[in-house]
Amino acid sequence: MSDPKHFPDDPLQMPPPYWEDSGALDQFIRSIEMVVALLPGLFDEGDRISPLVDAYHERRDANGPEYDPEYEEFADISNDFMDLEIAIVSYSDLCVFMGGISVETLINKFLVYNFHRDICEPLESLSPPDKLVIASALTGFPGVKSTAPYEATKQLSKKRNAFAHGHCVDRLTSNMRKNHLRNEGPGIQNARRSVDNLVSAITWYLCVHDYLCGITKNQYVIGVDDKADSEKIRGLLSEVRKYSFSGIDEYFPYVISRKDCIV
């Protein structure tokens, strides 16, 4: 392993040494891959059980609430669909969390390979949005606060911090009681909301990635490995966007459709 004491101070003399990622980007990509793999099953299962659910509720309407009072029959019909939903929610949450870490890694890499050690090291304690502001200004592009890359960094960092501190990311995080307590019972996050969050996280990540690649002085920041990863992420985003969630089904919180099918 290289001795950090002998790393060059001038970033434009690098690489080597080469960048070693924390592993967050791999988790970010893997979580998207898992959602892409699960969405066809959710679509197919939703299509399969739709008439079964309609028939179930017709029987319930005809017989009154005493029919299947514990919803055991309904659970038998919808269990596979719900299991797919839970998996998609979990991997989407992982994508958002790892996206926040991966964006900070992008900014850290940019700093290390564009600025002298005496400049970049004191910036380590700053938040990712603040790091981006300084990195951009020092590169000759001030005013990034009013741009999409800054907002993308801010949103991903906000969601990552909410997860890291044990908060529900879709609620006010400055008040612990308001964040976690509900009047109407336990909240249920469904695949529609989670896939929307996943798409936002990927879009934000690529926004920051493309911005930094456009202003870097050191081309290693957009080297071969980085290009391969970013192109893979773009391809996965296209796959996710083949599915859309819209409207409100009579018995489910959304209707799922796919570009090559009409439901």
Most confident of 1-10, 172-181, 187-196, 211-220: 211-220
Judge whether 56 and 74 are in contact, CB under 8 Å: yes
Distance CA 240, CA 32 (A): 8
Q: How many CA atoms lie within 13 A of 183 on its CB side?
A: 0
pTM score, two decimals?
A: 0.87
Rounded to an integer, what distance in angstroms lies between the CA atom of residue 147 and that of residue 127?
17
pLDDT tens readout for residues 67-83: 998 889 989 999 999 99
CB-CB contact of 186 with 235 (8 Å):
no
Q: Which two tokens stand for residue 39?
A: 């969405």
CA distances from 241 to 81, 112, 143, 195, 228 (A): 20, 34, 32, 9, 20
